[in-house]
Amino acid sequence: MEVKRKLILFLLMAITMGCVRIEGRDPTLHRVGGGRYTWSPNVNFTKWASHEHFYKGDWLYFGFDKHIHNVLEVNKTNYDNCIDTGFMKNITRGGRDVFQLLEARPYYFLCGRGFCFQGMKIAINVEEPTQIVPPAVLSNKAHPSCSDTKLFVFLVSVLVWTFM
């Protein structure tokens, strides 16, 4: 058997036995400001964002009155200075709008029409999700479902198969 196929097989075995865990993380929907209609003035979005973790693939939800407010993605310069012209993307639709964070990078949003100056701006840093949790062999804390026996059997199999 070629090396690549062997490696895949080992990984599959390890996952089955719970010795290696693939972090299966579902995308999270973050309600900006914390509530259903909290894209509004006088909400401290910096404070709200500091309690959240944003990962690639997650969604933002903006709830607001579309007749008064809007949501625009801007660059950092325009975010810092509350400039609503030359925006990158207009996210405004019906006032219950979602936006998927597709890249691991900082995102900047603001509300135009002067509301940015009343605090309606938010900076979000999107991180790459952790893919593979290190196997129990390499960490001090053993994975609960990866017992010593299983690990022993697994390692012996790896040795036997490698030199077969």
Ligand X SMILES: *[C@@H]1O[C@H](CO)[C@@H](O)[C@H](O)[C@H]1NC(C)=O
**44 part of the interface to ligand X, by CB under 6 A:** yes
Shorter beta-carbon distance to ligand X: residue 51 or 141: 51
Residues 6+ apart with CB under 8 A from 133: 20, 21, 22, 23
CA 53-57-62 angle, to 5 degrees, is 70
Pairing of strands 54-55, 121-127: parallel
Residue 104 and residue 112: Cα distance in Å, rounded? Answer: 25
Which residues within the stretch 126-155 sit at the binding site for ligand X (CB under 6 A)? none
| 16: three-class secondary structure by DSSP | helix
Cβ-closest position to ligand X? 86
Stretch that binds ligand X, among 22-30, 44-52, 57-65, 156-164 (CB under 6 A): 44-52
Which residues within the stretch 47-106 sit at the binding site for ligand X (CB under 6 A)? 47, 70, 75, 77-78, 86, 90, 92-93
Residue 132 and residue 31: Cα distance in Å, rounded? Answer: 28
Query: CB–CB of 90/164 below 8 Å?
Result: no
Instruction: Pick from 39, 112, 115, 143 the residue near ligand X by CB under 6 A.
Output: 112
| Site residue total, ligand X (CB under 6 A) | 13
Shorter beta-carbon distance to ligand X: residue 4 or 67: 67
Q: Which residues bind ligand X (CB under 6 A)?
A: 44, 46-47, 70, 75, 77-78, 86, 90, 92-93, 112, 119
